[in-house]
Amino acid sequence: MTNKEILQKSIEKAEKNGFNFIQSIFETMEKYEIKKCNNKYIDFYTYSKTGSKAHSYSHINELIFNHDFAKAFWGIKGIWCPKCNTKYTHCDCEFNATICDYWKYHLQQMVLEKEPLKYIEKFLKDENGIQNSK
């Protein structure tokens, strides 16, 4: 996937879970359209309720490291099994699973990545509903 596709799909996933991308950046805007995206910046248009259009830029890190985005994208709490590195609603593994804040864990992992968008890509589903396994 391109960076633009990763970003668009990750925003869509977070928005399904209650995150409002455009209001996190511009409170007076109603919708947006991503024009292009590279490893550092999002180039997009914003539209107000009256239909006026504005061209804007934002640093990708402002979005992907936003706590509200991370909570909506990965979820807040759950059971994580360190043996099988999987999150569960319950864990049948013989290893002791722990309750953790998913979003905090993944933000910590993203900080270590050279390309954080590629880390996010691993948690997106393709057009057939299959989660990437990269």
- The pLDDT tens digits for 6-32 are 988 999 999 999 988 776 666 656 677
d(CA 83, CA 89): 16
The CA R_g of the chain, rounded to the nearest whole Å, is 16
Give pLDDT, residue 131. Answer: 56
Q: What is the pLDDT of residues 40-88, one digit of tens each?
A: 777 777 777 777 777 777 778 888 899 999 999 988 776 655 555 555 5
**Residue 106 and residue 70 in contact, taking contact as beta carbons nearer than 8 Å:** yes
Rounded Cα distance between 27 and 34, Å, is 17
User: Does the model's pTM come out above 0.85?
Assistant: no
Please name the residues in contact with 69: beta carbons below 8 A apart, sequence gap of 6 or more. 14, 19, 21, 24, 63
φ/ψ region of 88 (left if φ > 0, alpha if ψ in -120 to 50, else beta) reads beta
